[in-house]
Amino acid sequence: MTDTDDVITVSEAAPIIGRSVQGTYRAVRAGHIPAGIFFRIGRDLYFRRAALIAWRDAGGTAATGEAARV
């Protein structure tokens, strides 16, 4: 597994998108973060690091869930 394949927890994902842990949970629950970026195992939430960073770098925000239009 390489760094681009890493699976990370909410506490590791939150600073990547500039949110608190609770804010990240709220953004997921509200549908602001695309479903392909995260998954659940039981009650635990995990993120695919590379997908999360790509979404963020494309202008995705946890406030809107959309990438910025250029």
Q: In a structure prediction context, what are the per-residue pLDDT tens digits for the chain, which is 70 residues long? A: 455 569 999 999 999 999 999 999 999 999 999 999 999 999 999 999 999 999 999 988 666 545 444 3
Contact indicator for 29, 19 with CB cutoff of 8 Å: no
Contact indicator for 69, 35 with CB cutoff of 8 Å: no
pLDDT at 14: 97
pLDDT at 60: 83
Q: pTM for the complete prediction?
A: 0.78
pLDDT at 68: 43
d(CA 61, CA 32): 8
Torsion angle (degrees, nearest 10) of CA 41, 45, 51, 52: 180
Q: To which residue do tokens 């695919």 refer?
A: 48
